[in-house]
Structure 1
């Protein structure tokens, strides 16, 4: 049961941009479409990345607007998804911290199930929605949440938090965490600006 959560992000309004048919894409955009639509990301995703006509949805559809940059962006996402320095539970904790703060419905919906599979509880997910530190986190997860919130809310990581996070996470995981927060914040910005069609859009 997942319906007990209060305050999940909701779609801000109707789509501003419609999915693009592959047949209408130039070669550069078609290549990016195929990379996303037929790659491992699609097989691993809990929400559809394409509609019933194989048109890209959500932030992936928006990546087609600037295909050279979109290609680089999706490569960053693929690297973060498989980075061994980011344990699955810590990674999903950070992703949903961004999704809750930015009110990104697509990001929250895409990752809630994965976060539960990684071991985050309903109580912990509710805390993320409320903007409060979840109970029951280990030291690395606590500091990951604190760094993510500092980046999102304060746009700064002070010396005390930096030293504590470096000790709890190590340099490599801390670096990967910072890139992760930036990546999902960027996707949330694209979603908020273009409001691309998502699963179930009308």
Structure 2
């Protein structure tokens, strides 16, 4: 699905485009999110074509990311673990860059994107990885893993982790359903 240049947006798409740009601008993203014409890329061309369906997903994203209990590193471990399970190329591209920017070592980022449980994770990062990897299997979390998550993050943090994983599973599915391409600067 090709990007929609800003001058081609419909009246229904324009407010959604502006909202996405506002959210992305506030994140200071270290990855490419627009093309040479200024059109949003990644999952956004799909979302712009279906703003009624995408608006709740973006609202969910901003709800889960505002006032986060989880550390940025724990969040990125969970996101990369989820993205690797789904093979969501744009998600892995963008969040690998975010993970590097916040200080996850290159070897850890490479291992996570390859679908591994890399050495060098902190105990909290290991729990986040294990929760994401296990939820991908479709089975309930084992009690011991759930208790480990609560011990690390508390009940609210564990809920945030679960909702974050669910959110990025959904984004991964959208990226894969529409075979979203990588930008030219992707390694």
CA contact (8 A) 1:62 1:194 kept: yes
Equivalent residue of 1:54, what SS? coil
What are structure 1's unaligned runs of at least 5 residues?
A: 1-16
Change in Cα spacing, 1:116 to 1:196, as seen in structure 2 (3 Å) is closer
Of residues 43, 54, 62, the one that matches 1:78 is: 62
The residue number in structure 2 matching 1:41 is 24
Deviation at 1:197, TM superposition (A): 4.9
Equivalent residues of 1:19, 1:197 under 8 A apart: no
Q: Counterpart in 2 of 1:7?
A: none
Distance 1:27 1:198, change over 3 A: farther
CA contact (8 A) 1:59 1:187 kept: yes
- The match for 1:185 among 163, 169, 174 is 169
Question: 1:101: how far off?
Answer: 1.3
Q: Does residue 1:31 correspond to 2:12, yes or no?
A: no
Partner of 2:158: 174
Partners of 1:162 and 1:96 in 2: how far apart?
Answer: 20
Tell me the CA shift for residue 63 of structure 1. Answer: 0.7
C-alpha distance in 1 between matches for 2:149 and 2:87: 25
- 2:41 and 2:64 mapped to 1: Cα distance? 20
From 93, 96, 106, the counterpart of 1:112: 96
CA distance in 2, matches of 1:147, 1:196: 26
Change over 3 Å in CA distance of 1:26–1:130 after alignment to 2: closer
Secondary structure at the residue paired with 1:144? helix
**Per-residue deviation, residues 62-87 of structure 1 (Å, max 9, x unmatched):** 11122122122122223333432121
Bigger RCO of structures 1 and 2 (CA < 8 A, at least 6 apart):
1
Q: Tell me whether 191-200 or 61-70 shows the greater mean CA deviation.
A: 191-200
TM-score (norm 1): 0.81
Q: Distance in 2 between matches of 1:47 and 1:122?
A: 16
Cα shift at 1:175: 0.7
Change (3 A) 1:94 1:18: same
TM-score of the pair, normalised by structure 2: 0.87
Of 124, 129, 143, 2:108 maps to 124
Q: Which residue of 2 aligns with 1:12?
A: none
Contact 2:108–2:119 (Cα < 8 Å) also in 1: yes
Alignment gaps of 5+ in structure 2: none
Superposed displacement of residue 137, structure 1:
2.6
